[in-house]
Chain A
Amino acid sequence: MHNTKKNRLIDKSFQFWGIGNTFIGIVLLAIFIGYIVYLGASRLSFDFLSSLPSRFPDKSGIYTAMVGSVWIMFLTAIFAIPIGVSAAIYLEEYQKKNRFANILEINISNLAGVPSIIYGLLGLQVFSRTIGLGGNLLAGALTLSLLILPIIIVATREALKAVPNLIKDASYALGATKWQTIRHQILPAASGGIMTGIILSISRAVGEAAPLIVVGALAYVPFVPTSPMDDFSVLPIQIFNWISRPQAGFIVNAAAGIIVLLVITFSMNLVAILIRNKFEKKMN
């Protein structure tokens, strides 16, 4: 009797503790977003989205940085998705489960946790200097691909793992080869999870500034990049640059830039959630 009471008390206090902590997170985020919107909303306009950067805050826009971000997103996806997904398929479906596989798995998970600036340093040495790409889009995208590869691999493996063995067995029992089973059963069933992982990892890449700065992306780009070999800037770097300027007008620009970046990443995450829900429904 006494114990039940005590347990119930512990249960209740933990519940309140949890609610409190959740609340702190949400409130802080709401204050932050509210403040950003308050600061930057008035600056949002077609002009802001379509102007090149300038010395004058109210003439300055994020066009080049936005185009740079789109390029980076596109190129990073081209490199990271095929490599990441096929690596995951190999590791999950073909690799024998032995010690080597275990070590590999742990290391890939660890790579997903390495600070992004370290990837920047790797990209600087390998892509910018050794291969000689300098600070162009290609070098930036390759660096970010390295950054998100482990995330894509881990997410894809989770999605592949979630495909019921029953379905694989049914396919094999009909005489399907491993590849046929992967191609016609496993990948379609896992595609929701895989797509979610890809979108989340790309939206992470879009928000990165540090590794690109290390690789040599520019803060001030008075032109729109038109090929992967062009120099570039991206939204987070542009924002970072504006924040470090003394004029108050640039702070407003930075706030407006953050709104644009938030809208982009939030919509990507939303799409990811919608895809996941849709596939979950289809599988049940």
Chain B
Amino acid sequence: MPTTIIESKDFNLFYGDFQALKNINFQAEENTVTAFIGPSGCGKSTLLRSFNRMNDLIEGVQTTGETNINGISVYDKSVDVNELRKRIGMVFQKPNPFPKSIFENVAYGLRIDGIKDKHIIEEKVVSSLKKAALWDEVKDNLKKSALALSGGQQQRLCIARALAIEPSIILMDEPASALDPISTSKIEDLIYELKKNYTIIIVTHNMQQAGRISDNTAFFYMGELIECDDTKTIFTNPSNLRTQNYITGRFG
């Protein structure tokens, strides 16, 4: 029996008066990759950001319903949002390394967590860079500014940075959309590798990418989750006509 790690129950989200998510019921199981697909503005990023409550940072956001991460209702008043985010890694569409050294980028999450021991920090920085498949390219230049890396390297650095705090979940919002094909395939290989130990949600506009890397695919349309199923089923035999039209490129 697989464990449900992420769960949205009758979840609604409003930006002021505008309802961006409508009655979402969604589940993701441990060590799976789920792809979020759907036309622009349908709420993929919004749902992704609801899992680690990044939406809290936007003024005027209101939610109803429930979101459970590892069985904990995260919108509960007793939940410490900073602790929640430490258990969930996030990778953004545009690589956004801090204007600091490569080392300090990866160490940042550890430092703000109050870890002072130099050896522990060094060890985790190295292992995170290795997990993010960046170690070989930067091991001689850890003091170099992260901004001097290429876009693809920066994105893998951002992944390493997210891995350093040892989350169990990784949320990725179009992580490869700003990258060239070679960097993209490196990121895809990496996701495949990471799946063994992490639960991953990835937003993508690239159908082939969704097909290649995900176990499950969720199709969204105008704030609704139209269907979520096995990726193979979604791509070959979707139960909803809109899903089929979207996948075959008839709209969106």
Residues of A within 8 A of B (CB): 96-97, 164, 166-177, 180, 184-185, 188-189, 282-284
Q: Does B83 contact A (CB under 8 A)?
A: yes
CB B170 to nearest CB in A, in angstroms, measures 11
Stretch at the interface among B92-100, B198-206, B226-234: B92-100
Which chain B positions have C-beta within 8 A of A180? 112
Tell me whether B86 is interfacial, beta carbon within 8 Å. yes
Q: Given the complex of chains A and B, what is the CA–CA distance between A95 and B112 in angstroms?
A: 24
Q: Please, which residues of chain A bring their CB within 8 A of the CB of B86?
A: 174-175
A229 and B95 alpha carbons, distance in the complex (Å): 55
| B99 engages A174 (CB within 8 Å) | no
Minimal Cβ-Cβ distance residue in B for A282: B99
B109 interfacial by beta-carbon distance below 8 Å: yes
Smallest Cβ distance from A279 to chain B, in angstroms? 10
Contact of B90 among A96, A173, A184 (CB under 8 A): A173
- B interface residues (Cβ-Cβ under 8 A, vs A): 52, 54, 57, 59, 82-86, 88-90, 92, 94, 96-99, 108-109, 111-113, 145, 147, 158, 161-162, 165
Q: Which A residues touch B59, using CB under 8 A?
A: 96-97
**Would you list 5 pairs from A and B whose C-beta atoms are within 8 A, ordered by A residue?**
A171-B112, A174-B165, A175-B82, A175-B86, A180-B112
The smallest C-beta distance from B167 to any residue of chain A, in angstroms, reads 9
Of the candidates A97, A164, A166, A171, the one whose C-beta lies within 8 Å of that of B108 is A171
Known pairs A96-B59, A180-B112, A185-B98; A170 contacts B85 (CB<8 A): no
Q: Provide the bound-state CA to CA distance between A96 and B88, in Å.
A: 27
Question: Which residues of A are found within 8 Å of B108, using beta-carbon distances?
Answer: 171, 174, 176, 184
A166 touching B94, Cβ below 8 Å = yes
**Chain B positions within 8 Å of A185 at CB level:** 98
Q: A176-B112, A180-B112 are contacts. A170–B98 as well, Cβ < 8 Å?
A: yes
- In contact, A184 and B158 (Cβ under 8 angstroms): no
Whole-angstrom distance between the Cβ of A158 and the nearest chain B Cβ: 18
- How many A-B residue pairs lie within 8 Å, measured between CB atoms? 68
Query: Smallest Cβ distance from A182 to chain B, in angstroms?
Result: 12
Within the complex, the shortest CB–CB distance from B143 to chain A, in Å, comes to: 14
Interface residue from A166, A174, A282 paired with B161 (Cβ < 8 Å): A174
Q: Which of A167, A169, A184 contacts B54 (CB 8 A)?
A: A169
The closest CB in chain A to the CB of B165 belongs to A174
Shortest Cβ gap from A175 to chain B (Å): 4
A283: nearest chain-B partner, CB-CB: B99
Residues of A within 8 A of B54 (CB): 169, 172-173
Known: A173-B90, A174-B161, A284-B147. A184 touches B112 (CB 8 A): yes
User: What B residues does A172 contact at CB under 8 A?
Assistant: 54, 57, 85
Contact, CB under 8 Å: A175 / B113: yes
Are B82's CB and A176's CB within 8 A?
yes
Cα–Cα distance between A139 and B113 once the two chains are bound (Å): 45
Known: A97-B59, A175-B83, A175-B165. A166 touches B109 (CB 8 A): no
Report Cα–Cα, A188/B99, bound state, in Å: 9
Task: Give the shortest distance, in Å, between A99 (CB) and chain B (any CB).
Answer: 14
- Report the bound CA distance from A176 to B84 in whole Å: 11
Given contacts A175-B112, A283-B99, contact A166 B92 (CB under 8 A): yes
- Residues of A near B85 (CB, < 8 A) are 172-175
State in angstroms the CA–CA spacing of A96 and B59 once bound together.
8
Complex-state Cα separation, A167 to B146, whole angstroms: 13
For B59, the closest partner residue in chain A by CB is: A97
Measured in the bound complex, the distance between the Cα atoms of B82 and A189 in whole Å is 22
Contact of A169 among B57, B89, B109, B162 (CB under 8 A): B57
Name the one of B84, B96, B112, B165 contacting A166, with C-beta atoms under 8 angstroms. Answer: B96
Q: Taking the nearest CB of chain A, how far is it from the CB of B112, in angstroms?
A: 5
Note all chain B residues with C-beta closer than 8 A to A173: 52, 54, 85, 88-90, 92, 162
- Chain B residue at minimum C-beta to C-beta distance from A174: B109
CA distance A168 to B90 in the complex (A): 13
Closest to A177 in B: B82
Extra inter-chain contacts (6) besides given A167-B98, A175-B83, A175-B84, CB under 8 Å:
A96-B59, A170-B161, A173-B90, A174-B112, A174-B161, A174-B162
CA distance A284 to B92 in the complex (A): 19
Q: Are A170 and B113 in contact (CB under 8 A)?
A: no
Q: Choose one: B52, B96, B111, B165; the contact of A170 (CB below 8 Å).
A: B96
Q: How far is the CB of B156 from chain A (nearest CB, A)?
A: 14
Chain A residues near B96 (CB-CB < 8 A): 164, 166-167, 169-170
CA distance A96 to B96 in the complex (A): 26
Give CA–CA (A170, B164) in the complex, Å.
13
